[in-house]
Amino acid sequence: MKCLRVRYTKRGKIRFIGHRDVARIWERTLRKANIPVLYSQGFSPHPRISFGLALPTGFESEAEYVDIYLGAEFFTEGFDAILIQQEIDRALPTGMNALAVGIVSTSEDSLQEAVDSCVWEVRVSGVCVEEFKKIRNDLFSSESLNIERERKGKLLVEDVRFQVHSMDIAEEHADGVTILTELGTKPRVLRPTDLLKRINSELRTVRVLRKEQLTLQGNHRIEPLSVELNPAAPAEVLA
């Protein structure tokens, strides 16, 4: 069985709505776009759609994903990926745009299970370039980095150093820097705000944008959208 996977954005004011509201938006969007989504069985059937990692409220993203379960008859010879993408994009509200669609097998891991890391773009203030370079060098020269996290009402201390894959300065500003950092999601998601607060409590986060959600394929991390529908635009591969 196959399903439709859509990559979409969440930018601007709509970043302040929560994950449940996003799910309701997608239910309305699929109705407006006349996408014949399958429904669950039981007393209270609901559309069969599933999402990638939840985005913290207030964060922006250009790499959100949703899987839409459809009947086999939907994927016929006349299936037009570009037309479907356009119809979905027109039905989405301002700030959410459908960037690409692809077909994935439902036998594969769910989106939440498959995502291995995320790439974040973070605007940080209250630090100059040289100060941040020192902070970064200290981080990558250390063998461990303990963070206190709450889980099921209990405070746990976890070493998250192995989840920090990269961190680079993308842009310099008068009052700070914009960084790109790739952070692991397992065993639990490491948020860039939690990491920055831990390595220097004086850093102030101005804006956070999720650039990519990546899955492992062999020794590479790739964008989790099938290229089956659009061979001319292969998924980006990041080593």
Task: Please report, for residues 119, 178, 208, the alpha-carbon distance to residue 182 in angstroms, rounded to integers and kept in the order given.
Answer: 4, 14, 13
Query: Does pLDDT of 194 surpass 90?
Result: yes
Question: 37: closest CA among 62, 77, 6?
Answer: 6
Query: Does pLDDT of 184 surpass 70?
Result: yes
**Hey, what domains does the chain have and what are their CATH numbers?**
2-108 (3.30.70.580), 114-221 (3.30.70)
pTM of the model: 0.88
Rounded CA separation 234/217 (Å): 14
Characterize the bridge pairing of strands 204-217 and 60-69.
Answer: parallel
Structure tokens that stand for 238 in this block: 């990041």
Query: Does pLDDT of 159 surpass 60?
Result: yes
Q: What is the mean pLDDT of residues 172-192?
A: 95
Rounded CA separation 109/234 (Å): 20
- The dihedral built from the CA positions of residue 145, 148, 150 and 155, taken in this order, carries a sign that is positive
Rounded CA separation 177/168 (Å): 10
pLDDT per residue as tens digits for the range 19-41: 999 999 999 999 999 999 998 88
Structure tokens that stand for 154 in this block: 């209990």
Mean pLDDT, all residues of the chain = 88
Q: How would you classify residue 238: left for phi > 0, otherwise alpha for psi between -120 and 50, otherwise beta?
A: beta
Question: 160: closest CA among 129, 127, 117, 123?
Answer: 117
Q: What is the pLDDT of residue 198?
A: 94
Cα three-residue angle 171-174-175, rounded to 5 degrees: 95
